Amino acid sequence: MFVPHLGCPRNCVFCNQRSIASPHEPSAEEVAREIESALGRSGDGAELAFYGGSFTAIEREKRLAYLEAARPFLRDGRLSSIRVSTRPDAIDAEIMDELHRYGVETVELGAQSTDDRVLELSERGHTREDIARASELLKREGFTLGLQMMIGLPGEKPDGHITTARDLVRFGADFVRVYPTVVVKNTALEDMWRAGLYTALTPERAAELSADVLEIFEKAGVPVIRLGLNPTEELCGEVAAGAYHPALGDMARGVLMRRRAERVLPPYRHAKEAALFVARGRTSTMTGQHRCNLELLEKEFDIGRLKVIERDTLEGFEVVI
Ligand code: SF4
């Protein structure tokens, strides 16, 4: 259930929920109707997610009405659990009690960065300490913790994305979502960009930086369940600049695999032919769009022809030769 902008105490510089989504605020009855119809499509045992705003900061009466609307479906087992997205400064003991009572099992926090200066320039209104504290509370209370980060926000240092990713691992993320910054029209970030005060990421640069954090999360065993904004029709006409590309996730994973290949290829420089072994289903990621990864590697290592072969014994982004 999309709850656009509800509970948001401010406008973060990069966000204009009203321009990327219908501003319609669902009523509790609509939530119940939507659950019913979604269960018809997905079958029983689905998870209900409230996203798009700051769920735990929505006024109490409305928040409870939403949770009450979901209750009968949880009771009869048609819904398995509930997930909510919120801000790190909107979590406390009372809220967690309420979430437990209503069957919420997963909480996603929009962390975005763990650099206080970046958070300030983005007008997030919370600090790194808020993220650390909320994460600790949620983990201690047994919630599944999702943390969202952005890359390329105003004021981010060259290795700021790496620091943020390491912090999210340290804070105990069970999964993460990574969003390289997109300049959406009618936002403060668009004004900053037009005034020359902010340099937008290109999709290519965003893929390189995203590969850095993919590496960190993969090593730590933290799943990245989303990389890049969903290419929705509403968003399409609203992008002014930045890391918007429908295949950004594939591009980033391709960069990561190309880097892995670069580590194993040096002994095969000038070879006539060589084969890269990858996990099942990873051929296209290794090959890259229009064979771009392989062509780059063939040139870099002066190899006549590179082949990609899948092996059941390999996992994730492993590349061996
Ligand atoms: S808290 Fe989230 S939904 Fe609210 S303005 Fe900021 S980014 Fe947008």
Ligand 1: does its nearest atom lie under 6 Å from the Cβ of 114?
no
Q: In this structure, which residue's CA is closest to atom 1 in ligand 1?
A: 8
Lowest mean pLDDT among 51-55, 152-156, 164-168, 314-318: 51-55
Q: Which two tokens stand for residue 243?
A: 């890391």
| CATH code for the domain defined by 17-246 | 3.20.20.70
Q: Which of 105, 217, 100 is nearest to 170 (CA)?
A: 217
pLDDT at 19 over 60: no
Distances (CA, A) of 233 to 130, 141, 206, 275: 34, 38, 21, 40
**Per-residue confidence (pLDDT) for residue 18, from 0 to 100:** 58
The structure tokens listed for 224 are 């990245």
State if residue 12 touches ligand 1 by the CB under 6 angstroms criterion.
Answer: yes
> What SS3 class is residue 190?
helix
Higher pLDDT, 212 or 25: 212
pLDDT at 146: 98
| Residue of the CA atom closest to atom 8 of ligand 1 | 15
Atom 5, ligand 1: which residue's CA is nearest?
A: 11
Ligand 1 pocket mutation pick from 2, 17, 182 by most atoms within 8 angstroms of CB: 17
Residues recorded for the chain: 321
Average pLDDT, the chain: 93
110's enclosing H/E stretch is strand 104-112
CB contact set of 225 (below 8 Å; sequence gap of 6+): 146, 175, 176, 177
Average of per-residue pLDDT across 124-139:
97
Q: The tokens 């069957």 sit on which residue? A: 103
> What share of the chain in percent tops pLDDT 70?
97
Q: Distance between CA 197 and CA 289 in Å, rounded?
A: 33
* Ligand 1 pocket member 111 (CB < 6 A): no
Least confident of 177-186, 207-216, 234-243, 274-283: 234-243
Cβ of 11 less than 6 Å from ligand 1: yes
Q: Which numbered atom of ligand 1 lies nearest the CA of 112?
A: 7
Least reliable range by pLDDT among 42-56, 57-71, 118-132: 42-56
> 23-37, 233-247, 261-275: which range is least confident on average?
233-247
The reply to whether ligand 1 has any atom less than 6 angstroms from the CB of 119 is no
Question: What is the reported pLDDT for 233?
Answer: 60
Q: Is the per-residue pLDDT at 22 higher than 80? A: no
8 lines ligand 1 (CB under 6 A): yes
* Residue whose C-alpha is closest to residue 266's, from 211, 318, 309, 321: 321
Q: What are phi and psi of 276, to 5 degrees?
A: -100, 125
Place of tokens 């002066």: 302
CA atoms of 195 and 97, how far apart (whole Å)? 46
Q: How far apart are CA 103 and CA 73, in angstroms?
A: 11
What is the tens place of the pLDDT at every residue in 239-252? 999 999 989 999 99
Would the CB of 15 count as within 6 Å of ligand 1? yes
pLDDT given for residue 204 in this prediction: 95
How far apart are the C-alpha atoms of 30 and 202, rounded to whole Å? 39
- Mean pLDDT throughout 117-140? 97
